Amino acid sequence: MNPALIAVIVVVVAALLFFVIAKVVGAQRRQQSAERKETTLSVLPKTSLGIWSVGLTIAFILLFFLIGVLTGSDPFGFNPILAVVFKIVFVGVPVAILVTGLISMIKRKERSIVVLVSMVVGLWFLIAGLWLGMGGD
């Protein structure tokens, strides 16, 4: 594969992760100024971090299927450098899902079923990503 294409993909993934981290930090700062005291159970998230957790889950699932369609049955076998990038993404994004979900639930008192489900999905993908990263079958 062309080294320039690999460099572009790495830069795009790094910029995307930087953008997501910046937005999550900004959302956390905004939430600190507007503390919510709701403790009722809801279906949809009410905090911005809860929305980020759910959004990251949806985006990650779409990315997961898109990579599967574009690379076929073996997404980690076609190029060693892209395989490393994909493994980092497959571990990093679920960590971001879990962190945003946990912060929203513990610190912001988010009581949303969808955020809880997104955290479970993120945990599942994290375990699967770590399993693939260690060479598990």
- Any domain includes 134: yes
pLDDT tens-digit map of 93-104: 888 998 998 888
Tally of domains within the chain:
1
Please, which residues have CB within 8 angstroms of residue 126's CB and are 6 or more apart in sequence? 91, 94, 95, 98
Question: Is residue 104 in a domain?
Answer: yes
CA dist., res. 58 & res. 79, Å (int): 26
Report if pTM > 0.85: no
**Residue 12's pLDDT is what?**
79
Q: Is residue 92 part of a domain?
A: yes
**Confidence band for 31, pLDDT divided at 50, 70 and 90:** low
Nearest to 55 by CA among 12, 101, 120: 101
34 in any annotated domain: no
Residue showing tokens 């929203």: 104
Range of the domain at 135: 48-137
Q: Tell me if 65 is assigned to some domain.
A: yes
Paired with 112 in beta bridges are: 42
Q: For residue 13, is pLDDT > 70?
A: yes
